[in-house]
Chains A and B, each alone.
Chain A
Amino acid sequence: MTSAATTATAPKLADRMRAIVGPTNVLASPSDLVVYECDGFTIEKNKPDVVVFPTSTEQIVAIVKACGELGVPFVPRGAGTSLAGGCLPIGGGVMIALTRMKRILEVNYRDRYAIIEPGVVNLWLTNHIKPNGYHFAPDPSSQGACTIGGNVATNSGGPHTLKYGVTVNHVLGVELVLPDGRVVQTGGPHEDNPGYDLTGVIVGSEGTFGVATKAWVRITRNPEAYRTLLGVFESVDDATNTISEIIGAGIIPGALELLDSLILQAVEAAFRFGFPLDAGAVLIMEVDGLDAGLDQDAERIVEIAKRNNAREVRRANTEAERLLLWKSRKQAFGAVGRLAPSYCTQDGVVPRTKLPEILRFIRAVGTKYNIRIANVFHAGDGNIHPILLFDERDADQVKRVLGASHEILDECIRLGGSVTGEHGIGVEKIDFMPKLFSPEDLAMMVRLRSAFNPENRCSPQKMLPTAGACIEQSKAGRHAAM
């Protein structure tokens, strides 16, 4: 295990980094470093010794080699929107910030791919190719800020994953700088390269295999048209039954988002869309694709919703109405501020048919811990995002939020699901890994990591629990982040 730079070695480290990337691309003063002590997961904090902003693969090679010589760890960082603490510099060392490698290197429409540097922000790529009728399919709610390098590392999802898949389904190849400074290219624009699908395991490795310095990504043609429906239900059960039946009827909607009554109140106060405040739940149901087939699908959806006791099914009749509806959904988290001073979003998954069960459980947990919980989530693929409302100034509430979160995630496991559908394990959920996986499963994951990162110098102590080297996890409120 490598150790952090000491106060004696830190200046030397900074000098080495300046020599590689130039003085304007290094931060080393305590006041600058504070910004980098955590990402979107704010409970655990630790400052890196140095932050470097390389502008080329060659510089990254030199940086990781220097880290090797000096025996310090390093951690890659994109925009720092991780909600799992993936960017936490455990043991200090060098943080490699990729935000200055932000060029779109090539877009090839005929062959449907783009080559990008890791610091390109997700939405930039989509905006860049939009005039030609294309987009980059993975669309996390953070897409205006997060980088594609970060998406690749965390295998990000978004509202459209049900139909279009997650990041890994859209990554064709990666250039990776390994911790010893060797550079590999896995995959590329050609399909079916012989050999192991290393690209497939690099995606989602949460920065523990090396630094991704380039990615070949699939670009997708935009749907020609949409039909956007809003189903109003008396109960959450009716809404979730509707979801199962739509999919059971062979329709794969572009999006299926559920909002419960508590979140509706907040969203309505913020956007005045006209949501019915006495409804048990509403479903945003959107089918997309060729204009020709959409009315047929939309009619069947209306029929199914009605059969499941929908009070009414509204249609977004204009593009403006559709956009307002989506704005209400995408900014729902922002509206939650109206409900409580603090909130904590969890990310769990259950099989789609278990949604009624998990939602009943969440209600019961809320009552048990006396915590209000709002729900707004990607219902189509069973990916729940319960939002636990509290006041972080009240230590007892914080404790109750933690207890409730853990019970919900444990229940996801019991129902045959997972503790993370898109945000990742990072440091936040490392304790759940032994609950999801056997020692043998974890041992094979360690074997895999050791092929890439044998000394565990690249982002140590993430994702896989390390016997005897656990980080301090007793801090109250470590899950109460958002």
Chain B
Amino acid sequence: MPTTTHIDGFGPLSMTTPTTTAELAQVIRVAAAGSTALYPVGGGTKLSLGTPPTRPGQAVSMGGLTRIIDFPARDMTVTVEAGIIIRELRDTLAREKLRLPIDVAHADRATLGGIIAANTSGPRRYGFGTLRDYVIGISALNDEGNEFKAGGRVVKNVAGYDICKLLTGSLGTLGIITQVTLKLRPLAEEQAIISLACDADKVESILANLHGSRTRPICLDLLNRLAARRVFDQAHLPVPDAAWVLLVGYEGNADAVSWQVQQLVKEVGILAKLEARVDFTAQPLWDSLVEFAHRPGDELVLKASVLPSAVATFGLNADRDGVALRAHAANGIVYGHWTADASLDRAAETLKRWRESSGTIVTRCPSEWKKTLDVWGPPRNDAWLMREVKAKFDPKSIFNPGRFVAGI
């Protein structure tokens, strides 16, 4: 059944949904023969990332490739097709008390292939890293429609180049990911999240304190007043009344978590107003912290990368009217979210200001704005090598042409 779709304002594009890799291979061969572009689509939750397509072509939905191929729970790995919905993957893993510890907003729509292509991450990345740490095997179809793989199904393996890493975060520009093997982690026995409400002048001292803390947080998310309001409102919790709120997360066995909660109170109790939520009472806050990444009303989202030690200063400078700021403070990642009252002029001005002290990309904005806004920012010194890799993998540039950095 032929359908159509738009990608980042471009279209309509006809969309096909292959249900086997052989069908997908055929789609690629036809496209390659005519040098027409292919735009892979997962759950469609991240299609605003990148520059809009410029070349006519066809959208390819991965929604037909959703099988679980192999789940040897005791080996703590799983091999699945790339179109699997994150919610389904999560539920399957949870039945064996396992998980992929990557936070994904809109888990009922996002697909595994999509989050790998976009390199999605969230608050727990401080404790658990990012997708590159979990993708241990990958299969993809290349520019000729032939399947290739790298890595394997074992957790430790150095045979061959690690093309898993290359495809993770490649935004679908090097091939279409069809199957993935993931390394898994056990579900945590216990969790806690502590909110620290403080004034602007205390943010850096609290962050520095936490850096040297005897506790080992797995999340250090910093929220300005507006972001805190949204996160706590969505969790149906009273909003802390403070300029800044730091959410400190712990996971582990019951003894370790309860000790850490008490320890944290001792360490920073005098610097901020603390409120701890343990076990299931922490869940709503965790959930809304993860979903915050992708709020429906967001018109403009900027993502800055600075050193962790610069987060407080950067955040304080960026804290203006109308922006909800959220930082993964220990990773140096700062997001700014603006709702409908954002304007192109203001976006351009903010972007320029942010780039004076950080690497900033636009992760979401109206498609027309992208004619003016430089979404990816100035190319880095390895951009030419990235183009070289792209040219080797996809010489006719059929996969997502023009959507990624450096004109890739």
1/0 per residue A350-380: CB within 8 Å of B?
A: 1111000000000000000000000000100
| In-complex Cβ contact of B260 among A157, A184, A290, A432 (8 A) | A290
| In-complex Cβ contact of A197 among B165, B306, B404 (8 A) | B165
Check B156 against A195 for contact (C-beta < 8 Å): no
Q: Which of B197-219 contact A (CB under 8 A)?
A: 208, 211, 214-216
Check B150 against A441 for contact (C-beta < 8 Å): yes
| In-complex Cβ contact of B306 among A190, A433, A441 (8 A) | A190
Contacts of A295 in B (CB 8 A): 255
Query: With an 8 A cutoff between CB atoms, is A55 at the interface?
Result: no
| In-complex Cβ contact of A445 among B160, B189, B259, B381 (8 A) | B160
Check A184 against B160 for contact (C-beta < 8 Å): no
Most buried by A among B149, B154, B170, B188: B154
Query: With an 8 A cutoff between CB atoms, is B48 at the interface?
Result: no
Shortest beta-carbon distance from A284 to chain B in Å? 18
Check A166 against B156 for contact (C-beta < 8 Å): yes
Query: With an 8 A cutoff between CB atoms, is A26 at the interface?
Result: no
Contacts of A452 in B (CB 8 A): 385, 388
1/0 per residue B64-83: CB within 8 Å of A?
A: 00000000111111000000
Distance A418 CA – B156 CA, assembled complex (angstroms): 8
Check B307 against A418 for contact (C-beta < 8 Å): no
Check B154 against A349 for contact (C-beta < 8 Å): yes
| In-complex Cβ contact of A383 among B156, B256, B257, B376 (8 A) | B156
In the complex, what residue of chain A is closest to B119 when comparing beta carbons? A192
1/0 per residue A420-431: CB within 8 Å of B?
A: 111111000100
Check A194 against B405 for contact (C-beta < 8 Å): yes
Distance A351 CA – B153 CA, assembled complex (angstroms): 8
Check A110 against B308 for contact (C-beta < 8 Å): yes
Q: Which of B152-208 contact A (CB under 8 A)?
A: 152-166, 168-170, 174, 185-189, 208
Shortest beta-carbon distance from A223 to chain B in Å? 9
Contacts of B377 in A (CB 8 A): 194
Shortest beta-carbon distance from A427 to chain B in Å? 14
Shortest beta-carbon distance from B46 to chain A in Å? 14
Check A197 against B97 for contact (C-beta < 8 Å): no
Check A440 against B306 for contact (C-beta < 8 Å): no
A194 with B152: in contact, given A204-B158, A221-B216, A252-B185 (CB under 8 Å)? no
Check B385 against A184 for contact (C-beta < 8 Å): yes
In the complex, what residue of chain B is closest to A189 when comparing beta carbons? B307
Query: With an 8 A cutoff between CB atoms, is B359 at the interface?
Result: yes
| In-complex Cβ contact of B160 among A165, A297, A437 (8 A) | A437
Shortest beta-carbon distance from B376 to chain A in Å? 5
In the complex, what residue of chain A is closest to B392 when comparing beta carbons? A447
Shortest beta-carbon distance from B356 to chain A in Å? 15
A201 with B158: in contact, given A193-B305, A194-B361, A351-B153 (CB under 8 Å)? no
One of B86-94, B140-148, B264-272, B318-326 at the interface:
B140-148
In the complex, what residue of chain B is closest to A112 when comparing beta carbons? B308
Check A201 against B216 for contact (C-beta < 8 Å): no
Query: With an 8 A cutoff between CB atoms, is B19 at the interface?
Result: no
In the complex, what residue of chain B is closest to A446 when comparing beta carbons? B392
Query: With an 8 A cutoff between CB atoms, is B23 at the interface?
Result: no
1/0 per residue A440-456: CB within 8 Å of B?
A: 11111101111110000
Query: With an 8 A cutoff between CB atoms, is B393 at the interface?
Result: yes
Check B160 against A350 for contact (C-beta < 8 Å): no
Query: With an 8 A cutoff between CB atoms, is B132 at the interface?
Result: yes
Query: With an 8 A cutoff between CB atoms, is B383 at the interface?
Result: yes
Check B253 against A293 for contact (C-beta < 8 Å): yes
Shortest beta-carbon distance from A137 to chain B in Å? 12
Query: With an 8 A cutoff between CB atoms, is B22 at the interface?
Result: no
1/0 per residue B353-389: CB within 8 Å of A?
A: 0000001010000000000000011001111011011
Check A201 against B154 for contact (C-beta < 8 Å): no
Query: With an 8 A cutoff between CB atoms, is B233 at the interface?
Result: no
Query: With an 8 A cutoff between CB atoms, is B283 at the interface?
Result: no
Distance A166 CA – B168 CA, assembled complex (angstroms): 18
Distance A378 CA – B166 CA, assembled complex (angstroms): 27
| In-complex Cβ contact of A201 among B165, B258, B309, B331 (8 A) | B165
In the complex, what residue of chain B is closest to A421 when comparing beta carbons? B156
Check B156 against A161 for contact (C-beta < 8 Å): yes
Number of A-B contacts (CB under 8 A): 251
A252 with B186: in contact, given A293-B252, A296-B255 (CB under 8 Å)? yes
Query: With an 8 A cutoff between CB atoms, is B303 at the interface?
Result: yes
Contacts of B386 in A (CB 8 A): 195-196, 198
Most buried by A among B73, B142, B256, B333: B256
Size range of the chain B interface in the assembly: 35 or more
| In-complex Cβ contact of B159 among A198, A221, A250, A425 (8 A) | A425
Check B309 against A198 for contact (C-beta < 8 Å): no
Distance A111 CA – B329 CA, assembled complex (angstroms): 11
| In-complex Cβ contact of A352 among B74, B97, B406 (8 A) | B74
Query: With an 8 A cutoff between CB atoms, is B30 at the interface?
Result: no
Contacts of B303 in A (CB 8 A): 192
Contacts of B308 in A (CB 8 A): 110-112
Query: With an 8 A cutoff between CB atoms, is A126 at the interface?
Result: no
Distance A1 CA – B162 CA, assembled complex (angstroms): 25
Check A448 against B158 for contact (C-beta < 8 Å): no
Shortest beta-carbon distance from A267 to chain B in Å? 23
Check B309 against A296 for contact (C-beta < 8 Å): no
Distance A378 CA – B154 CA, assembled complex (angstroms): 13
Contacts of B188 in A (CB 8 A): 250
1/0 per residue B299-321: CB within 8 Å of A?
A: 00001011111000000000000
Shortest beta-carbon distance from A357 to chain B in Å? 13
A-B contact pairs, 29 of them (CB 8 A): A110-B211, A110-B309, A157-B158, A185-B382, A186-B385, A190-B307, A191-B332, A193-B359, A194-B359, A195-B382, A197-B132, A197-B165, A198-B166, A198-B382, A198-B386, A200-B132, A250-B189, A252-B185, A290-B215, A290-B256, A292-B255, A383-B156, A417-B157, A420-B157, A420-B158, A437-B159, A441-B148, A448-B389, A448-B392
B residues apposed to A, CB below 8 Å: 72-77, 97, 119, 121, 129, 132-133, 142, 146-150, 152-166, 168-170, 174, 185-189, 208, 211, 214-216, 252-260, 303, 305-309, 331-333, 359, 361, 376-377, 380-383, 385-386, 388-389, 391-393, 404-406
Known: A198-B382, A425-B159. 19 other contacts (CB 8 A): A110-B309, A169-B133, A184-B381, A192-B119, A192-B303, A195-B404, A196-B166, A196-B174, A199-B165, A204-B158, A247-B74, A290-B216, A293-B254, A296-B253, A352-B155, A419-B159, A421-B156, A438-B147, A450-B392
Q: Which 7 A-B pairs have the closest CB atoms?
A: A200-B165, A293-B256, A292-B259, A250-B186, A421-B156, A418-B157, A447-B392
